[in-house]
């Protein structure tokens, strides 16, 4: 970890970028994403004084190198050079959730949980946990988009997606990250977001808020990882370490069930 932090600092002033060769990928509320090449992107903020730039830099400096946190190659005045990957949400939509093996899904979730555990251990709350902020790089899941994080219990600039937040006090906490993690599990398993039938309603935020306030969550009883999802939503889990333990238990049970027992002769 220490070596990775030094590497980040050494790349604080990266080589100049050939802006003429950049390829537009996407735009957001605070900036634009460009492809530099097959391995790197430029995340450029509209305003070099945008607080999001400073927050994201602080997060990368604090988290250092971690296998499940997207790699930062360096920074420029108004942006960052980051590792390029493929969105989990896009992968699910294109391949179809039920075409992706459960073992792959569990591995993704374990890797996401490892990344979040590292964040929480370093007093960083993501505040926008979800499949849209998880990518895969060479088959490994990595967490992205830290500009809106809460650092050291500071204010978060980000907000969770409409279906992945239950009103809480404080508004952002490990618990709200864990709740959203449960919603991401549901999306990975089904290819749908919780209560996606409400998406066309202008008041979907209010509707889902009322459902969650009554502890009414999607029916998952007959689904894999049902205990894990319900635990995230009902506040059973207080840490990502507990979630990792549950995922490991699920893995062990699956291995036991799949083990072939030779027939008695």
Q: pLDDT at residue 6 above 50?
A: no
Predicted local distance difference test score (pLDDT) of residue 30 = 83
Q: pLDDT at residue 2 above 50?
A: no
Element at 125 (helix H, strand E): strand 124-125
Structure tokens at 194: 């919780």
The pLDDT tens digits for 84-96 are 999 999 999 999 9
For residue 245, how far is the Cα from the chain centroid?
Answer: 19
Predicted local distance difference test score (pLDDT) of residue 185 = 99
Quick one: CATH architecture of 2-84?
A: 2-Layer Sandwich (3.30)
Contact 234, 215 (CB under 8 A): yes
Helical pair 174-190 and 88-95, crossing angle rounded to 10 deg: 20
Predicted local distance difference test score (pLDDT) of residue 1 = 32
For residue 14, how far is the Cα from the chain centroid?
Answer: 26
Q: Distance between CA 42 and CA 32 in Å, rounded? A: 8
Instruction: Tell me the DSSP string of 134-192.
Output: EEEETTEEEE---TT-EETT---S----TTS----SSSSSHHHHHHHHHHHHHHHHHSS
The pLDDT tens digits for 8-29 are 444 455 556 888 899 999 988 7
Measured torsion, CA atoms of residues 249, 239, 140, 38, in degrees rounded to the nearest 10: 170
Q: pLDDT at residue 133 above 80?
A: yes
Predicted local distance difference test score (pLDDT) of residue 264 = 43
Structure tokens at 121: 């251990």
Q: Distance between CA 88 and CA 144 in Å, rounded? A: 11
User: What are the residue ranges spanned by the domains of the chain?
Assistant: 2-84, 87-257
Sheet harboring 79-83: ordered strands across?
Answer: 23-27, 31-35, 40-45, 79-83, 72-76
The fold adopted by the segment(s) 87-257 is Transferase(Phosphotransferase); domain 1 (1.10.510)
């Amino acid at each position: 970890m220490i070596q990775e932090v030094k590497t980040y600092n050494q790349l604080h002033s990266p080589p100049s970028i050939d802006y003429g060769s950049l390829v537009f990928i996407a735009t957001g509320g605070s900036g634009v994403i460009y492809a530099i090449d097959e391995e790197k992107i430029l995340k450029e903020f509209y305003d070099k004084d945008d607080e999001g730039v400073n927050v994201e830099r602080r997060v990368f400096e604090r988290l250092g190198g971690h296998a499940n946190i997207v790699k930062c190659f360096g920074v420029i005045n108004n942006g960052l050079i980051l590792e390029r990957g493929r969105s989990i949400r896009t992968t699910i939509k294109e391949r179809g959730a039920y075409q992706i093996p459960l073992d792959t899904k569990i591995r993704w979730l374990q890797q996401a949980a490892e990344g979040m555990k590292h964040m929480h251990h370093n007093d960083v709350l993501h505040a926008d946990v979800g499949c849209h902020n998880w990518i895969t790089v060479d088959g490994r899941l990595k967490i992205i988009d830290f500009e809106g994080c809460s650092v050291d219990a500071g204010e978060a600039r980000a907000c969770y997606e409409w279906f992945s937040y239950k009103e809480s006090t404080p508004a952002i906490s490990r618990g709200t990250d864990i709740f959203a993690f449960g919603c991401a599990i549901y999306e990975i398993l089904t290819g749908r977001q919780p209560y996606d039938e409400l998406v066309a309603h202008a008041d979907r935020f209010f509707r889902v808020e009322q459902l969650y306030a009554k502890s009414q969550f999607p029916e998952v009883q007959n689904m894999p990882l049902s205990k894990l999802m319900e635990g995230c939503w009902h506040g059973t889990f207080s840490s990502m370490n507990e979630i990792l333990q549950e995922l490991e238990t699920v893995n062990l049970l699956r291995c036991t069930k799949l083990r072939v027992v030779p027939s008695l002769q």
